Structures are given as structure tokens and as C-alpha cells.
Amino acid sequence: MTPIQRDGGDWIVRVAVKPRARRTRFGDAKDGEIIVFLAAAPVDGEANDALIRFVAEVFETAPSRVVVERGGTSRHKRLRIGAARCVPEALSGFLKGPAALI
């Protein structure tokens, strides 16, 4: 299973979140998920908010267009990203075939 794929005009991204990291960044993929290191702590929704802001920034879309579809309280999440202007270079290696076209 690829961790990033198209669904109509949206992108679906499966992530495994690692909170309390030194800095927020993408890591490698493991078990069909992209590891996302977040500087935020998993307290009172701070990590989810930080994840949404980070993903919106790198996909060049509004935070309101990033939705946690599954895993709101889990470290394993499925995100739906709408109106993305680009796919981050760090994730482009996970794309294959025609799904890679924006």
C-alpha cells in the first residue's frame, strides 16, 4: 500500500506521528505510512493542530482543507488534503505511475 495517493482532486496521506520531536519534519515510510516528526506534544489536540498546519504549509493549501479522516486520537492517521498546489519533494518519491500527476 502506498502512503500517498490521489482520490479525485484530493490527496490521501497515511501518516504515523511521532510527537515531541526536536523539529517538525517528514521521515521515511514504514508499513505503508509516512513518519511525521512533530515538535508539539500530544496534549489537548496540540499535535493534531500542528500536524494540520505543517501539512497545509508543505502542500500549499489552507489548514481548513486538511482533514484527519481517521485516527484523531491515534498516532496512525489518514489525512485528506484538498486544493493542494504541490506535493512536497520529501513525499514525491512515494508516488508511482499516473497517480503522481497533479
Asked if 34 and 94 count as a contact pair (C-beta separation under 8 A), the reply is: yes
pLDDT digits (tens, 9 = 90+) for 16-25: 999 999 999 9
Give ∠ CA 53-54-55 in degrees, rounded to 5: 95
Asked if 53 and 38 count as a contact pair (C-beta separation under 8 A), the reply is: no
**Domain 4-83 belongs in CATH node 3.30.1200.10:** yes
CA-based nearest residue to 33, from 2, 74, 66: 2
pLDDT digits (tens, 9 = 90+) for 44-78: 999 999 999 999 999 999 999 999 999 999 999 99
The model carries a pTM of: 0.91
Distance CA 23, CA 2 (A): 25
